[in-house]
């Protein structure tokens, strides 16, 4: 009898979770930030708590999960449209090694003991700090590592039609320079570009689908 009473709650909660996973994307399976991780944990706690509480109806259970899931999706949407707000919410990757030098202050900022850092790089087959050229501590706790002798990683300078000012400053480039480079490649406006990255002393541009299709048709 108890299982029959719980069945509607399980069904409604499952439907809400399926919708949430569909709308929020695969990053909820492999969280990209602390907010993603905590948000998913709260979703699990809400589902478990309301399902096991006999005083909470199926619709009340679904409502609690739907409100929280909706808030997370809204924050994710806002972050995708505003890089500065995204950085304010999620924070930014912290550089731990620069040009072979360990940045001790950034280890403190990241709250990462050097012994734990050593373990993380050993797991990736790196035997000594001397092998490292650049290392960033990412938002999800993973490390991005460039060893001595490797090429530097690409730097994103345009994201979702907007300029990444912090990355431009990192490259010692100006907004005027970027707009000039975009026009040299046949684009009129930054808003036509889905994303662009600086790699190996080249600007690699990836326009939105409709812009790319329009350019392809005009060449025929």
Per-residue model confidence as pLDDT tens digits over 191-217: 999 999 999 889 999 999 888 887 776
- The arrangement of secondary structure in 155-219, i.e. its CATH architecture, is 2-Layer Sandwich (3.30)
Contact 32, 72 (CB under 8 A): no
Structural domain boundaries in the chain: 2-88, 94-147, 155-219
Residue range 94-147 in CATH 3.30.240.20: yes
Cα 153 versus chain centre, distance: 16
- Residue-level pLDDT at 70: 82
Distance from C-alpha of 65 to C-alpha of 42, rounded to nearest angstrom: 9
Q: Angle between the 83-90 and 34-52 helix axes, to the nearest 10 degrees? A: 70
- pLDDT of 134 above 70: yes
**Cα 37 versus chain centre, distance:** 12
Q: At residue 107, does pLDDT exceed 90? A: yes
**pTM of the entire structure?**
0.58
Q: Taking residues 150-169, what's their average pLDDT?
A: 87
Angstrom distance (rounded) from CA 89 to CA 149: 35
**Residue 41 in this model has a pLDDT that exceeds 60:** yes
Equal CATH topology for 94-147 and 155-219: yes
Instruction: State how far the Cα of 206 lies from the Cα of 138, in Å rounded to an integer.
Output: 24
Q: What is the mean pLDDT of residues 68-87?
A: 75
């Amino acid at each position: 009898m108890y299982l029959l009473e719980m069945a509607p709650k399980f069904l409604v909660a499952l439907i809400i979770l399926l919708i949430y996973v569909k709308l929020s994307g695969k990053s909820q399976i492999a969280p990209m930030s602390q907010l993603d991780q905590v948000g998913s944990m709260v979703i699990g706690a809400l589902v478990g708590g309301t399902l096991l509480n006999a005083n909470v109806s199926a619709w009340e259970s679904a409502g609690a999960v739907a409100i929280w899931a909706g808030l997370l999706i809204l924050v994710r949407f806002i972050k995708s449209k505003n890089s500065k707000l995204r950085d304010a919410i999620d924070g930014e990757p912290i550089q731990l090694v620069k040009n072979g030098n360990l940045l001790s202050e950034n280890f403190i900022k990241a709250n990462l003991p050097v012994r734990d850092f050593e373990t993380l790089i050993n797991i990736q087959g790196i035997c000594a700090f001397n092998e490292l050229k650049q290392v960033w501590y990412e938002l999800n706790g993973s490390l991005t590592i460039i060893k001595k002798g490797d090429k530097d990683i690409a730097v994103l300078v345009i994201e979702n039609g907007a300029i990444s000012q912090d990355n431009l400053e990192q490259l010692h480039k100006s907004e005027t320079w970027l707009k000039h480079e975009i026009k040299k490649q046949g684009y009129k406006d930054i808003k036509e570009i889905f994303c662009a990255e600086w790699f190996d002393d080249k600007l690699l541009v990836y326009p939105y689908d409709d812009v790319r299709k329009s350019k392809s048709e005009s060449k025929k």
